[in-house]
Amino acid sequence: MDTPTATVGRSSTALRSTIAGDVFFPDDDGYDEARQAFALAADQRPAVAVLAESAADVIHAVRWARARGMRIAPQGTGHGASPLEPLEDAMLLRTLRMRRVDIYPATRIARVEAGAEWQDVTVPAAEHGLAALAGSSANVGVVGYTLGGGVGWLARRYGLAANSVTSTQAANRHVADRVGRVASGDRAERSIMARLAFFIMGPPIGTGASMANQWRGRLRTDGKQNVLNLA
């Protein structure tokens, strides 16, 4: 007859064998670090914490959790962790290691993984004279910020970041529409984002006061703007 310890052992081995990232159960060394959100007041204690490194990791983790009837709580940086429900019987699926950003200045497109922070986008985008519709903090996650609305420095001119979403790539079977809302046959579950697409704009190139004056002048005009699709 199997003991609970033996069952958990086999279960954890099965999960770890499919994940390129790291998996932590409550008794594992590193569990406390894996469960810690950016918001230190949030004491997250999930049944298992998965630190995914790719969309494939996310898919395998979701399949493992669903096969066991386990709730899944996806999380990037954890800035907004406090409102989460208790996670004692849930999987904390963290995407903070998925930070790849590809910028294509010729087509004004960038491809951003689910764990990307704004600093991962703004720095390489600026090298091409492009500026993202980011907020005031460089270490906030792009996906959470954007799908949560996204009120940034340029919001009065260009609107919420969520309004500029053009497409998303989900790591499960859900499909996202053009404005970032998640459409699914089962609306009780949320899509786990792998990538996100939205517009960002290109400021004039310059330095110091000269650049500031050019930028101010552009904001006062209704001329054609350079935009970048961020995917």
- CATH code at 123? 3.30.465.10
| pLDDT of 40 strictly over 70 | yes
Under the banding of pLDDT at 50, 70 and 90, the label for residue 157 is confident
* Predicted TM-score of the model (pTM): 0.74
Under the banding of pLDDT at 50, 70 and 90, the label for residue 93 is very high
Provide mean pLDDT across the span 17-40: 94
| pLDDT of 180 strictly over 60 | no
For residues 168 and 86, membership in a common domain is answered with no
Provide mean pLDDT across the span 200-227: 51
Last residue of a domain, one of 94, 124, 159: 94
Under the banding of pLDDT at 50, 70 and 90, the label for residue 87 is very high
Res 184: pLDDT: 31
Give 46 or 105, the one with higher predicted confidence.
46
Res 115: pLDDT: 92
Q: Which of 103-117, 139-153, 179-193 has the lowest mean pLDDT?
A: 179-193
Q: Look up the domain containing 164 and give its range.
A: 101-230
For residues 115 and 213, membership in a common domain is answered with yes
For residues 33 and 75, membership in a common domain is answered with yes
For residues 43 and 20, membership in a common domain is answered with yes
For residues 64 and 23, membership in a common domain is answered with yes
Total count of domains within the chain: 2
Q: Which of 39-48, 58-67, 131-140 has the lowest mean pLDDT?
A: 131-140
For residues 88 and 15, membership in a common domain is answered with yes
Last residue of a domain, one of 72, 94, 116: 94
Q: Would you call 161 helix, strand, or coil by DSSP?
A: helix
For residues 219 and 121, membership in a common domain is answered with yes
